[in-house]
Amino acid sequence: MSFGPARPLEQLYATRSSIKWRRYPADVLPVFVAEMDFDVEPAILDRVAETLRHSDTGYLDSAGPLAPAFAAFGRDEWGWEVDPAWVHLATDVTVGVVEALRLVLPEAGGRVVLTPPVYPPFFEMVEEADAVAVTVPLREDADWSLDLAGLEAAFAAGADALLLCNPQNPTGRCHSRDVLEQLAALAARYDVFVVSDEVHAPLTHPGGRFTPFAPVARATGAQAVTVSSASKAWNLAALKCAVIVAADERSAALLTTLPDELAARTSILGLHANVAALSCLRWRDDLVDAIVRNVRLLEAELAQHAPAVRVVRPDAGYLAWLDFRDAGLGDDPARVLIETGRVALNSGLPFGEPGRGFARINLACNPSTVVEAVRRIAATVAAGAQSRVEIAVATL
């Protein structure tokens, strides 16, 4: 079945009970947390319903049919040859990251490198693994690329692991193969374990190029695992299923020591939903086309109504990083936008120090929602500018 428009906002408010629709009052337009306004693909719903009809609601002990399904998807999408035996289950991507880190970190005091601005739960995951975060910010001056010199310095100083985000959240940047090859060489040289979160990869935009880290790591001799899920690309977060995939023989052996309970805590409904999703490519392709149109619409609307706000155009995903530093809304524009404009974006501050003056917007919605969000952003920016003029006049 082809992809269709989202339901009207009033229906979403009336029928959905997730964070996106319950955190703020109904007069606040929610374009923040990474979930979609679109309905789940019917074939996925049918697969979950069939599982329920068979009362197949017990526990899991392995990736089962998801392993070959993920391997086939990786091969067909990116030319990544995945050994199904190297695919393991996790409850979700965040749990998979934490459990992977625990396999290589000392009991306490390990050091994990993060590259902010980056998905805020990364900081919490490092804490959960009883480690310390070492930050090496992305290079804004190089189109939000990895700072390889900074990473080498952190590795040489004794880092145990790197938590990579590829495609990157919040910038949507797909790290280039050349950069990833250099990163892998550094990880191999300094024996740094890389955990690569690639959950947004299935939503790479036309013209963008996603390179999975695992085959690059294996070719370079680095030790790495990939954590992924259909949860973002097919809107299945609540069904709780992800995969941890080894990049190399050493990591494959390491993953066999994961706790047995990790698979048992993964949803069997989520597993079957993931298997179905990985074959729903027409729906995914139509979704990506809709997202790209919304990115272009966002750029055009901001250029016309709030030109001080700049868009970092993503290579993948449905999230966009907005630069408000010239818009006069201070270090935390999202707070002002909620209070004054009644539009909820993600604050840039939890993404790390480079997020100061930024906010993240969710574009997995109808075009009318994008237009309304920009209308509220523009009104807030204009109100702020008027207030500054009035204050300046009053002080003369």
Cβ neighbours of residue 53 closer than 8 Å, sequence gap 6 or more: none
E strands, the chain, in order:
29-30, 87-90, 110-114, 131-135, 161-165, 193-197, 224-228, 242-246, 310-312, 319-323, 343-344, 346-347, 358-362
In this predicted structure, the answer to whether residue 390 has a pLDDT above a threshold of 70 is: no
Instruction: Write down the pLDDT at residue 394.
Output: 58
Instruction: Write down the pLDDT at residue 109.
Output: 86
Residue 4 placed within a domain: no
Band of the pLDDT at 34, cuts 50, 70, 90?
very high
Contact between 220 and 184 (Cβ < 8 Å): yes
Question: What's the CATH code of the domain at 327?
Answer: 3.90.1150.10
Instruction: Write down the pLDDT at residue 216.
Output: 98
Instruction: Write down the pLDDT at residue 389.
Output: 52
Instruction: Write down the pLDDT at residue 256.
Output: 98
Band of the pLDDT at 386, cuts 50, 70, 90?
low
| Mean pLDDT on 46-68 | 98
- 275: region left, alpha or beta (phi > 0 left; psi from -120 to 50 alpha): alpha
* Last-in-domain residue among 222, 245, 277: 277
Whether 214 and 256 share a structural domain: yes
Of 4 and 289, the structure prediction assigns the larger pLDDT to 289
Whether 254 and 125 share a structural domain: yes
Band of the pLDDT at 387, cuts 50, 70, 90?
low
| Mean pLDDT on 228-250 | 98
Whether 214 and 165 share a structural domain: yes
pLDDT (tens digit per residue) in 121-132: 999 999 999 999
Question: In the 3-class helix/strand/coil scheme, how is 123-170 assigned residue by residue?
Answer: HHHHHHCCEEEEECCCEHHHCCECCHHHHHHHHHCCCCEEEEECCCCC
* Last-in-domain residue among 256, 277, 298: 277
**Cα(366)–Cα(369) distance, rounded to whole angstroms?**
5
pLDDT (tens digit per residue) in 260-290: 999 999 999 999 999 999 999 999 999 999 9
Instruction: Write down the pLDDT at residue 395.
Output: 59
**Cα(200)–Cα(229) distance, rounded to whole angstroms?**
9
Q: Give the largest CA-CA distance in the chain.
A: 76
Query: Burial of 202 by CB count in 10 Å (0-12 exposed, 13-18 middle, 19+ buried)?
Result: buried
Question: Per the confidence metrics, is the pTM higher than 0.75?
Answer: yes
Domain count within the chain: 2
Instruction: Write down the pLDDT at residue 391.
Output: 56
* Last-in-domain residue among 247, 277, 307: 277
Whether 316 and 233 share a structural domain: no
Rounding to the nearest 10 degrees, give the CA dihedral for residues 280, 120, 136, 134.
-120
Band of the pLDDT at 64, cuts 50, 70, 90?
very high
- Mean residue pLDDT of the chain comes to 96
Question: What's the CATH code of the domain at 115?
Answer: 3.40.640.10
Tokens matching residue 359: 């906010």
Q: Is 172 helix (H, G, I), strand (E, B) or coil?
A: coil
Contact between 30 and 24 (Cβ < 8 Å): yes
| Mean pLDDT on 330-335 | 98
Contact between 242 and 95 (Cβ < 8 Å): yes
Query: Burial of 2 by CB count in 10 Å (0-12 exposed, 13-18 middle, 19+ buried)?
Result: exposed
Whether 273 and 285 share a structural domain: no
Whether 265 and 286 share a structural domain: no
Among 78-87, 104-113, 133-142, 269-278, the range scoring the smallest mean pLDDT is 104-113
Instruction: Write down the pLDDT at residue 4.
Output: 86
Show the CA angle centred on residue 268, arms to residues 266 and 273, nearest 5°.
Answer: 105
Whether 223 and 296 share a structural domain: no
Instruction: Write down the pLDDT at residue 325.
Output: 98
Query: Burial of 238 by CB count in 10 Å (0-12 exposed, 13-18 middle, 19+ buried)?
Result: middle
Domain that holds residue 355: 9-39+281-394
